Amino acid sequence: MKWIKKGLIFRPQNNYGWMISHASIPLVDSVNDEELRIYFGTRDRQGRSLPTYLEVFADDPQQILYIHDQPILSLGKLGTFDDNGIMPSWIVNNGNKKYLYYIGWNPQVTVPYRLSIGLAISEDGGQSFAKYSEGPIFDRDIDEPYFKTAPCVIHDGDTWKMWYVSCTGWEIINQRPEPRYHVKYAVSDNGIHWQTTNYVCIDYDSLADAIGRPCVLRRNGIYRMFYSYRAIKNYRDDPTQSYRLGYAESMDGIHWRKYNDKVGIEKSTTGWDSQMLEYSYVFSWKKKTYLFYNGNGFGESGFGYALLEEQA
């Protein structure tokens, strides 16, 4: 693979009181044959994450056609898992409904945050959503005591398959708690009630202390995963330690082999994606394959896209 960078699509700049900064974790869906809808998480004046979307011309995603003027979900009630932040992670068409799997945030005392997985459902083609429940559908438990987050979900026959980020612990680095996390696998028969398997799909190595936002596709009988990875030390400020994109393949969706040298995209020398590459989402439209992703600042610099080279 080789991706041709096409540039930045959107970066919030005080658009609304609830959209002050950040456009994190882009998630793409079709509106019709000519338009794409890109969901993302933005931040308000208090730094709380809220989900919304914009629509772009599918043939040229830098042409923004519409920016939604409201969050698509409200923060949860005080004390619930999503009372301080909601970020979209994955969307699945299920009959005439769309299932939006999202990340719920809570501030903590001993560590900065706790993350859980929620579900919202749309019956109007993805323009609006209603939460399935006030509680998370997937959360820390006896085997995974820290947090679960950033799900990717595929409805494959009678089985729903989820690849998600699982935290394995926190470490004090430069007087600040920092998390370690890798990618695990879960299954369901309805997309709502999930069973953990304890399979670790993408684990740590000499370059990766944290593996984030899996994006799984199945093509030609092979599961293909794009993901983000970083070190645990100095990743916020040192581009050599910060997020970059990785790639892996699997025949069964459980046992994976990394091919990070084949991912085909690197950080730019200057500009919005010169320090970080993370939270990617691969989307095929007609004969094109797009890679949408975040750059510097975990989405603070916005999101852009690249085009697979043979289609450029």
**pLDDT tens readout for residues 257-274:** 999 999 999 999 999 999
Across the chain, how many H-helices and E-strands are there?
0, 20
pTM (2 decimals)? 0.96
Contact present, 263 and 245 (Cβ < 8 Å): yes
* Residue 155 confidence (pLDDT) above 50: yes
How many Cα atoms occupy the beta-carbon half-sphere of 165 within 13 Å?
Answer: 28
User: According to the model, what pLDDT value does residue 157 have?
Assistant: 86
**16-67: per-residue pLDDT in tens?**
999 999 999 999 999 999 999 999 999 999 999 999 999 999 999 999 999 9
Give the contacts of 298 (CB within 8 A, at least 6 positions apart): 22, 24, 243, 276, 278, 279
State whether the Cα torsion 212-217-218-219 is positive or negative.
negative
**Strands 35-43, 49-57: pairing kind:** antiparallel
pLDDT above 90 covers a percentage of the chain that reads 96
Dig out the tokens for 17 from the structure. 């009181």
**203-227: per-residue pLDDT in tens?**
999 999 999 999 999 999 999 999 9
User: According to the model, what pLDDT value does residue 311 have?
Assistant: 52
Average pLDDT over residues 139-151: 97
Dig out the tokens for 112 from the structure. 């900065």
Contact present, 3 and 306 (Cβ < 8 Å): yes
User: According to the model, what pLDDT value does residue 312 have?
Assistant: 45
* Residue 68 confidence (pLDDT) above 70: yes
The alpha carbon of residue 216 and the mean position of all alpha carbons in its chain are separated, in whole angstroms, by 11
* Residue 308 confidence (pLDDT) above 60: yes
Average pLDDT over residues 79-94: 97
Contact present, 152 and 214 (Cβ < 8 Å): yes
DSSP string across 190-257: SSSSEEEEEEEEE---SS-SEEEEEEEEEETTEEEEEEEEE-SSSTTT-TTTS-EEEEEEESSSSSEE
Confidence of residue 252 (pLDDT cuts 50, 70, 90): very high
**17-26: per-residue pLDDT in tens?**
999 999 999 9
Under CATH, what is the fold of the domain 14-305? Answer: Tachylectin-2; Chain A (2.115.10)
- Report the distance separating Cα 284 and Cα 127, nearest Å: 21
- Backbone torsions φ then ψ of 17, nearest 5 degrees: -60, -30
User: According to the model, what pLDDT value does residue 176 have?
Assistant: 95
pLDDT above 70 covers a percentage of the chain that reads 99
The torsion angle over the Cα atoms of residues 195, 188, 24 and 17, rounded to 10 degrees, is -100
- Report the distance separating Cα 284 and Cα 278, nearest Å: 19
Give the 3-state secondary structure of residue 267: coil
User: According to the model, what pLDDT value does residue 161 have?
Assistant: 98
Average pLDDT over residues 171-177: 95
Contact present, 129 and 121 (Cβ < 8 Å): yes
